[in-house]
């Protein structure tokens, strides 16, 4: 296939070996047994040069919704499309041609923002049919613990920490760098927490959208999409002793239903549960875009059940156990005053709710 250096825009200026390494660090995917067409494209990409992906970023007017700037960077060759200069229509044609050789698209807030604006402006773009990977959605999975990834504004809107001026080319390059770091982190987590990766692989592909995440997790885990039995088993092991037994069974049953809206929220909830107990929090944008993780965590941890064999509720919602845990084994509640009927210490009765950490 002809090189696209001229027709698709300028080359990256003087980026040096470091940036070239970043661009080529992206995905390396295994060939799965009898994979679908999308996974075959991913696998073929990784074997030859590097990421056959296209990183896209747009700058859009807040009031007008017009695309003022755009950039695309090919992950394998470094070829770019930049607008302005030129006309927007011509830039979109060049972007579409550059995407033809890409196995998938990547970007930060790509799904809800960039692709949505491109689809509204030109719904016939071929690149809209490509699998997409959104680094904004992956980041709370790969980097749930404080300190978070240094390129992402965790406590704000989750956007990239670029410079102060609008620069879509820089943001597209940063998205590639972030994507490579996310892949490296998840590969390390595959060794230490394989059940988490099984759960995330299954949960993030439940919505049936045209997503590149199945191929991405196949690369990280070096195996196919887990079946329902294996995925539910992994979820049960992750929540065992870390959440209410009854609530865990209910949540797993909900996400096992087809076309469930709760799969991504549970993925983000699991990421936080894996690091709970320190100073790590769910990103504000997650609570805005996916409000369900909040009530999931409340149901899983903060609402006591009456099951006598529920380890979490019997431990975390027992006021006396929590008192001794936080203040020492010799502490107890004052014996007086006591309830005249049950004999329970009234001070203990006021502690029916205990915070979970």
Q: Report how far residue 110's alpha carbon sits from residue 117's, in angstroms, rounded to the nearest whole number.
A: 10
Q: What is the mean pLDDT of residues 70-74?
A: 94
Q: Is residue 213 part of a domain?
A: no
Q: How long, in residues, is the chain? A: 357
Q: Is residue 200 part of a domain?
A: no
Contact by Cβ (8 Å): 231, 198: yes
Indicate if 31 and 145 belong to the same structural domain: yes
Indicate if 22 and 116 belong to the same structural domain: yes
Res 119 pLDDT > 80: yes
Of residues 330, 331, 329, 321, the one with CA closest to residue 354 = 321
Indicate if 162 and 108 belong to the same structural domain: yes
Q: Is 51 exposed, middle or buried (0-12, 13-18, 19+ CB in 10 A)?
A: buried
Number of independent structural domains in the chain: 3
The predicted model scores a pTM of 0.75
Res 299 pLDDT > 70: yes
Structure tokens at 221: 């885990």
**296 φ/ψ angles, rounded to the nearest 5 degrees:** -65, -45
* 231-249 confidence digits (pLDDT tens): 999 999 999 999 999 999 9
* DSSP element (H, E) containing 246: helix 245-256
* DSSP element (H, E) containing 73: strand 67-74
Segment among 216-220, 277-281, 286-290 with least mean pLDDT = 277-281
* 154-202 confidence digits (pLDDT tens): 444 445 555 446 788 988 998 898 899 999 999 999 999 999 999 999 9
Q: Is residue 220 part of a domain?
A: no
Cα of 224 vs its chain's centroid, Å: 19
From residue 144, alpha-carbon distances to 74, 178, 207, 222, 244 in Å are 28, 14, 22, 23, 22
Q: Is residue 207 part of a domain?
A: no
pLDDT band at 298 (very low <50, low <70, confident <90, very high): confident
* Greater pLDDT, 221 or 294: 221
pLDDT band at 26 (very low <50, low <70, confident <90, very high): very low
- Is the bond into 147 cis (omega within 30 degrees of 0)? yes
Of residues 105, 196, 108, 181, the one with CA closest to residue 143 = 181
Indicate if 239 and 123 belong to the same structural domain: no
What integer pLDDT is reported at residue 284 of this predicted model?
A: 75
Coil, helix or strand at residue 91: helix
pLDDT band at 346 (very low <50, low <70, confident <90, very high): low
**331 φ/ψ angles, rounded to the nearest 5 degrees:** -80, 150
Structure tokens at 260: 């469930």
* DSSP element (H, E) containing 60: strand 53-60
Indicate if 78 and 134 belong to the same structural domain: yes
Strand duo 132-134 + 104-107: pairing? parallel
Res 264 pLDDT > 70: yes
pLDDT band at 261 (very low <50, low <70, confident <90, very high): confident
Indicate if 177 and 240 belong to the same structural domain: no
Q: Which residue range forms the structural domain that includes residue 328? A: 318-349
* DSSP element (H, E) containing 270: helix 263-275
Contact by Cβ (8 Å): 42, 70: no
């Amino acid at each position: 296939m002809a090189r696209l250096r001229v027709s698709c825009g300028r080359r990256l200026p003087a980026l040096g070996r470091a940036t070239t390494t970043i661009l080529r660090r992206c995905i390396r995917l295994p060939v799965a047994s009898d994979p679908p067409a999308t996974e075959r494209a991913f696998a073929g990409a990784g074997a030859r040069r590097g990421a056959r992906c296209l990183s896209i970023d747009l700058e859009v007017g807040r009031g007008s919704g017009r695309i003022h700037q755009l950039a695309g960077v090919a992950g394998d060759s470094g070829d770019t499309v930049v607008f302005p200069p030129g006309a927007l229509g011509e830039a979109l044609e060049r972007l579409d041609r550059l995407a033809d050789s890409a196995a998938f698209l990547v970007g930060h807030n790509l799904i809800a923002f960039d692709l949505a604006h491109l689809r509204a402006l030109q719904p016939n773009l071929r690149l809209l049919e490509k699998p997409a990977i959104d680094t904004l959605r992956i980041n709370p999975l790969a980097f749930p613990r404080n300190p978070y990834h240094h390129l992402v504004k965790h406590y704000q809107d989750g956007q990239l920490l670029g410079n102060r001026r609008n620069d879509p080319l820089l943001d597209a390059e940063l998205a590639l760098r972030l994507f490579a770091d996310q892949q490296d982190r998840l590969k390390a987590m595959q060794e230490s927490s394989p059940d988490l990766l099984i759960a995330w692989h299954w949960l993030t592909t439940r919505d049936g959208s045209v997503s590149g995440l199945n191929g991405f997790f196949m690369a990280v885990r070096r195996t196919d999409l887990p079946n329902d039995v294996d995925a539910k088993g992994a979820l049960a092991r992750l929540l065992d002793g870390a959440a209410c037994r009854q609530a865990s069974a209910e949540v797993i049953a909900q996400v096992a239903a087809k076309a469930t809206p709760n799969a991504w929220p549970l993925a983000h909830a699991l990421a936080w549960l894996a690091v709970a107990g320190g100073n790590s929090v769910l990103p504000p944008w997650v609570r805005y875009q996916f409000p369900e993780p909040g009530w999931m965590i409340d149901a899983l941890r903060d609402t006591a059940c009456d099951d006598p064999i529920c380890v979490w509720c019997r431990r975390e919602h027992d006021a006396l156990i929590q008192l001794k845990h936080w203040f020492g084994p010799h502490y107890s509640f004052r014996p007086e005053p006591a309830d005249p009927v049950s004999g329970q210490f009234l001070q203990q009765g006021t502690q029916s709710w205990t915070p979970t950490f």
